[in-house]
Amino acid sequence: MPLKKNIPNAITSLNLVSGCVGIMLAFRGSVELAALMIVIASLFDFMDGMAARLLQVHSDIGKELDSLADLVSFGVLPGALVFVILENSGTLSWVPYFGLLIPVFSALRLAKFNLDTRQSESFLGLPVPANALFWVGVTLLSYSETTNQFNSILKSIFNQPLIIIILTVVLSLLLVSELPLFSLKFKNLKWVKNQTRYLFLGLALVLLILLGVGSLPMIIVLYVFISIFDNLLTIKHAD
């Protein structure tokens, strides 16, 4: 029984280890590999929740461990990526420290989420894994060669330090905002009540096929805009 109870925690620990390895890789110059560690951490983050549900084991320590692991993998690691990107851009020596906004606001977001009972079925503010995946896309675009014209345009945009700073500030504020965002958790697979989720997943798949790594920032932006549109429709129908 103790072994069964600790399986989800073991998977959560792999999420944490992935984040730690990514931070080390980022500061050793392996920035693309560091970004990919966020993707690996995301898989472990998904798997630990699934394991807890399948095994029907839930604990307070598991919840706290999950938040701590998420802070490292989806807060500190993307902050390190932004730090390295800005440092390599040749800007002023103090500018890369804007990257520290990400772990600080991610910590605030996670603390708020743990205490906010309103976020059981949807989110208020941008989830930290979504923010981290945005920076995965930015990093891979910045450091990889691309023949896709649209990705080349995105790459030239993300190579501007001012753009990175603005995005860091805006996304950090979104983390702690009161903006309602839909969850991707399905209670069932029926079209009713899941239209928004199916629309988002369909468009996200198209973007992923067309743009590859360049789709990640666009998918997160799409997620935010679909949520806003969905909220406006809900308000309209309520009136």
In the chain, where the domains are located? 2-179
178 Cβ contact list (under 8 Å, min separation 6):
124, 125
Res 239 pLDDT > 60: no
CATH of 2-179, one of 1.20.1560.10, 3.40.50.2300, 1.20.120.1760, 1.10.10.10: 1.20.120.1760
Q: What integer pLDDT is reported at residue 167 of this predicted model?
A: 96
pLDDT in tens, 67-126: 899 999 999 999 999 999 999 988 888 999 999 999 999 999 999 888 877 766 678 889
In the chain the beta strands, taken as DSSP E runs, fall at 122-124, 180-182
> What percent of the chain has pLDDT above 90?
51
- Classify the phi-psi angles of 56: left when phi > 0, otherwise alpha if psi is within -120 to 50, otherwise beta: left
pLDDT in tens, 225-236: 999 888 787 676
Give helix 195-211 / helix 215-238 axis angle, nearest 10°. 160
Q: Look-up: residue for tokens 């799409």?
A: 222
Q: What integer pLDDT is reported at residue 237 of this predicted model?
A: 59
Q: How far apart are CA 117 and CA 178, in angstroms?
A: 13
pTM of the model: 0.90
Res 46 pLDDT > 80: yes
Q: What integer pLDDT is reported at residue 119 of this predicted model?
A: 63
Mean pLDDT, the chain, rounded, equals 88
Q: Amino acid identity, residue 130?
A: A
